[in-house]
Amino acid sequence: MTYLKKQLIYLKEKFDFFIKIKRAYFFYKNPGIKSMNLTLHPEGEFLSDEIRTSKTYYEIDLLIFMYNNYDCQRFCDIGANIGNHSNFFERLGSKGWAIEPFSNNFTLLKLNAPTFQLFNLALSDKSGIEKFVTYESCFGNGNLISNFDNKIQNFGTGPIFENVRVEKLDNLGIENPTIIKIDVEGAELKVLRGAEQTLLKYKPVICIELHSDKILKKDGFNYSRKDIIDFLFSLGYKKTISFDSRNHFFEKNN
């Protein structure tokens, strides 16, 4: 093993230890958060099983990082799933909005984020009705049927088809979000295009999950990761932090 590789392993272990310390301190300061009150899907669904196994929120370290470093008082959860993120911030006193297209998730979202304003729809750069597919094994894995040329790829077991309302974020009347989280399985550029006026007016911090070009192509999207970043740059945003390989923070230049 080379010296450089040893140093990288050391730095990762040091970072992981630091994260664990931050997590323990957060739970010490906020003891009520450790005991979750999330309503989950039955066993066999990916996200709910992850939460059961870990006995805490999915992506808990990302959530704590967001809470410690950004104004999350007006939190907008795009691709909310069952409300993992919304529930976390709601219990810490945040107000906000949660947007989720799939009915199985939305039923639980209503239980998990009762004080948030909820939207049962998908965000895009246009308005209308689109046919989507999701899977019983992972209700977070969903996408437009048209992306697959009507050939459903094997992203899970038990495909479920839904006609979903599609809308621009700019048309929802969301005012002054302080931070927006976007996790939409490759549709990020469409969501951002439909949110342009909201982003320009209110300048929220953006936490966005970015996929590789290989995954975007496999999922049927005709744009690249660079295209998504360039669009944010065109609105005056800059990337400030990559929390991990998937989740990245962008802030607007003043």
Question: What is the overall mean pLDDT for the chain?
Answer: 90
Whether residues 1 and 115 share a domain: the answer is: no
Band of pLDDT at residue 69, cut at 50, 70 and 90: very high
Arithmetic mean of pLDDT, 185-191: 94
Decide if 253 contacts 238 (C-beta within 8 A).
Answer: yes
Q: What is this structure's pTM?
A: 0.90
- Please report which residue ranges of 102-195 form alpha helices under DSSP H: 103-112, 188-193
- The verdict on residue 183 lying in a domain is yes
Percent of the chain with pLDDT over 70: 89
Q: Where are the alpha helices (DSSP H) in 70-113?
A: 84-91, 103-112
DSSP 222: S
DSSP class of residue 210 equals -
Residue 107 sits in a domain whose CATH number is 3.40.50.150
- Among the listed residues 22, 41, 184, 158, the one whose alpha carbon sits nearest the alpha carbon of residue 108: 41
Domain that residue 89 falls in? 36-119+172-251
Rounded to the nearest 5 degrees, what angle is found at the Cα of 76, between the Cα atoms of 17 and 158?
80
| Mean local confidence (pLDDT), 18-46 | 89
C-alpha to C-alpha distance for 24 and 21, rounded to whole angstroms: 5
Summarize the confidence of residues 171-179 as an average pLDDT. Answer: 98
Q: How far apart are CA 162 and CA 218, in angstroms?
A: 21
- Res 151: pLDDT: 46
Determine the pLDDT at residue 150.
44
In terms of domains, do 91 and 20 share one?
no
Considering its fold, how many domains does the chain have in total?
2
The answer to whether residues 54 and 13 belong to one domain is no
Does 83 share its domain with 2?
no
**pLDDT on residue 14:** 61
Same domain for 60 and 19 = no
